[in-house]
Chain A
Amino acid sequence: MFQFDTLSLIFVALILLGTIPNLFYSVGYLPHIERKSYYVVHYFTFILSMLGVVVSANALVFLFFWELMSLSSWQLILTEPKEKETLLAARFYFFMTHFGFIFLLLFFLIVTNGDLDISFSQMKGIATSFAYPTILFFFLLLGFLSKAGAVPLHVWLPYAHPAAPSPVSALMSGVMLKVAIYGMFRFLFDVLYPWPLEWGTFLLIIGSVTSLVGILYAMGEHDIKALLANSSIENIGIILIAFAMGMIFDSLGLQILSTFAFIAAVFHIFNHMGFKSLLFMGAGSVLHQTHTKNIEKFGGLIKSMPITAFTFLFAAMSITALPPTNGFLSEWMIFQSMLSSSNITDDMTLKLAIPFAMFALAMTGGLAIATFVKAYGITFLGLHRSTNAKHAHEVNFLMKSGMILMAFYIASLMLFAPNYLHFFDTMLVDMGMPSVYAKIFPQGILHMHSVGVHGGVVSPLILFFALIFVTSLLLFAYKVFNVKTRYYHAWACGYKTSAKTQYTATGFSGVMRRFFNWLYKPQEHILKKNLAGHETKFSDASYSVKIKPLFEITIYEGSKKIANIISYWVYRLGHFEQTRYPAMIFNLLLFVLFSYRILTHDVNWEGLLIESALMIMSIKILVIGDKK
């Protein structure tokens, strides 16, 4: 019923590490939740069900806990159902999570032959004898990636995660998404093991697109929690890129490179759990003090909320992969495993294709810096942009300690990266991969090597201490120099310096919005009170912009439209006047006769064309009739 192998234990550790700081934060947050017992019950159910998912040993238990996890998080989104958006987000989440569940169920019904009690290793035999393993792979992808939020199944994420109370958003983004990745690890390794090359390549494309789309929408977002949720999509994309590189190398027989890539994926999972939880906690503290999620209403919070601001800065540096943080290390590993594609000998197409994924990942990194400079700069720096931000003060002790604990966890990932990597290595060895720990650290823990031929080297600790040393030397010199310092207002071209003269978040991302106009298709609203009919002179003006994700418009609303059209025609069919029914019967007869002829005799294309044209004409004339 339950199993505790290394893979499970690594993810148990992940969940516990994510939960403990969150508990502190949650307790601090609790006084502001009206339905306390409701919240507490679902909160603990949620945590326990996540633990249940990663330790379950058969399909039935897995599906039970998976469903429990979905339902409890769905209920947690509805903790404060005051706004209509929350209800809509919860409904969307409920739909999407069950969309994925159906595919998981299908997967399990096939690989267990209907007997959901058998263990994962027994499933492997059935799966290998199944004629279409790619269908199983796609079921897995649809099931798990709809939870993890990969393109095009990511649209619910920026709605559902911000709607939940902040500690829950931190858990959902930081931990629950990783449980879905656990599912990928578990079933791809245990059930569907020898992977064809195409699976990895497909996943690589998905990952690259996901990371770019996620960060581009994060850039355009003005709701701080939705921004973070979009950035989660990006990071899931990065994890998928690493995972896909592992799959590609494995199917090419390059086992060592494959293990390196998988270690990079797990490392990024741990990193993302840390910094995304911390960022959501910081955003929650800000939201809690200012009672708004709109980034344009913040500003200057670093003065009133220093601890939130500095932990947020630390997490932002880590998520944008700046050295010497842990985020940089995992992204470095992913880049190195992509660079190792030059070691592939026989597949030229793949060698040329992987640089495109590298391009996507590098672009993602650059845009992530822009996004988090915006998120941090507009929220914490400058002057307060609203009265709410003016009256903000530091959050209570428990919430602070939650954030500080999480910051310590991130720092531990940075300083003790070799120890963490050793755990991940043990996990992959237990899953049947070769050990690469000794190859990553051949000369002690100071230098991290890439395992590819002529790979790169990075020395996180040396970098860290060199940066600290140089910076403190400079600061010391500044102190010794004893510079005279004067404080005065910033110069605003002769006007009074006020919050209104600052750059806004809309303005900050304006350049990007214009360049990526084809993707964003922003809906702009400009209101101006013109003076005496002059086009260019106005007393009062407001500009607002809203970005609706392209995927939502095309795939989701498009399929809604198609369903509407079909249901309209079905409705019309049922409500024809009775004289048309004989015509319908005639058409059906015609259809059956034609199909019979086509199926039993050899297919004749001219005949087929004429017959279908006849069918369409008779349906149009006899059944549908003229438009009224």
Chain B
Amino acid sequence: MILYLLSIVLLVLLAPILLSYIKATKMVLLFKRPISIFQGYRNFAKLMHKETIISKETSAITSYAPFLVLSPLIVTMFFLPPIVVGSYYVSFVDAFTITGLISLSTFFLMLLGLDSASAFGGMGSSREAFISALVEPAMVLTIFSVSLMAGNLGVGQAGVNLAEHFPKEHMASFLFAGISFFILLIAENGRIPVDNPETHLELTMVHEAMILDLTGVYLAIIESAASIKFIIFASLFASLFMPFGLEFSAPIAILIFIVKLFIIATAVALLEVNTAKLRLFKIPNLLGLAIVFAFLSLITFYVLGA
């Protein structure tokens, strides 16, 4: 139980570092002087000291939505698969609940965008709605496929099962599901081919456009929600698609898990440096790819048993 709570706290603390690490890696690769990997904390501290400016046009939604964006993600943190064998984990929550909680968070984020009566907010909400509508089917199919291989729909249990019996005989469909999930990781977190988190240009903004009118504590909350969302997806990827290294003693296993997270972050950073942001109307092609891979994974599992 202590290990369980400890791992949650560790992941929450790791969340801003991971995003700063991606940014720093990108800067190194672009021959810039990198930011510190603790930049996320500095930003957080700076925002916490600022006063909150709420626009006069907004309603009660703006004063509650930031909390409702963050709280489903925090609840999700408790349902992640264990990172050490023998640690407590919530076995009963299935992947639909997790996707539902993430949708709940996105729902309030989109309302937040529409509440400030600015054109940017609406634009961001509209785009986010479009992308998340297309993410949903790929997500469900990937979950289905992974749960078939893991033999359980519960996320925690699936992580444990995969670690115990790595599905060597289903390697092909496992790989397809992994590719599909990685595309979803990028799309859901607004990383580069889908959304560029670093610009504030109306042509490219999706996530940033929705939160353009926020500042101070509210912005800090939303930023932490974004980093927590990334760590949820990264640790799901690490537990479900890199299911090894759990059987070591607690400190080593945790270390291995953190290394896995950094590997994923590096992969994302490399992808971001090497690709350009897609036009909004090309994004369905990428997500369509995810859907196709999810179907392929299912079909290979059923038909070939591979």
Contacts and interface: CB of A to CB of B under 8 A. Distances in A.
A492 B119 contact: yes
Contacts of A335: 96, 140
Contacts of B101: 323, 463
B171 interface: no
A366 B135 contact: yes
Interface string A22-61: 0000000000000000000000000000000000000000
A502 B103 contact: no
Given A471-B71, A489-B57, A501-B117, A450 B122 contact: no
Interface stretch (B20-28, B59-67, B247-255, B270-278): B59-67
B48 to A, nearest CB: 8
Measured as residues with beta carbon below 8 angstroms from the partner, the interface class of chain B is 35 or more
B111 A348 contact: no
B148 interface: yes
Nearest to B137: A362
B136 A362 contact: yes
Interface stretch (B162-170, B190-198, B236-244, B295-303): B295-303
A82 interface: no
B115 A381 contact: yes
A193 interface: no
A377 B303 contact: no
B103 A322 contact: yes
Contacts of A352: 298-299, 302-303
Contacts of A306: 60
A618 interface: no
B26 to A, nearest CB: 28
Contact of B111 (A332, A381, A488, A499): A381
Interface string B76-113: 00100000000000001111110011011011001101
A415 interface: no
Contacts of A367: 133
Given A332-B96, A370-B129, A503-B123, A454 B152 contact: yes
Contact of B121 (A321, A484, A503, A511): A503
Contacts of B71: 467, 470-471, 474
Interface in B20-69: 48, 51-61, 64, 67-68
A369 B96 contact: no
B277 to A, nearest CB: 16
A484 B130 CA distance: 36
A489 B213 CA distance: 10
Nearest to B92: A457
Contacts of A17: none
Contacts of A485: 51-54
Among A376, A483, A514: residue with most chain B CB under 10 A: A483
Contacts of A382: 57, 114-117, 122
B122 A502 contact: yes
Given A383-B57, A455-B153, A467 B75 contact: yes
B53 A486 contact: yes
B51 A362 contact: no
B216 interface: yes
B134 interface: yes
Interface in A343-384: 348, 351-352, 355, 358-363, 365-367, 369-370, 373-374, 376-378, 380-383
A302 interface: yes
B266 to A, nearest CB: 30
Nearest to B144: A339
Interface of A: 300, 302-303, 306, 317, 320-323, 328, 332, 335-336, 339, 342, 348, 351-352, 355, 358-363, 365-367, 369-370, 373-374, 376-378, 380-383, 447, 450, 454-459, 463, 466-467, 470-471, 474-475, 478, 481, 483-492, 497, 499, 501-504, 507-512, 514-515
Interface of B: 48, 51-61, 64, 67-68, 70-72, 74-75, 78, 92-97, 100-101, 103-104, 106-107, 110-111, 113-119, 121-123, 125-127, 129-130, 132-137, 139-141, 144, 147-148, 151-154, 213, 216-217, 221, 280-281, 284, 291, 295, 298-299, 302-303
22 contacts: A322-B107, A358-B144, A359-B137, A374-B126, A377-B113, A456-B94, A458-B93, A467-B72, A470-B75, A471-B68, A474-B70, A485-B52, A490-B56, A490-B58, A497-B55, A497-B57, A499-B117, A502-B119, A503-B121, A508-B126, A511-B127, A515-B281
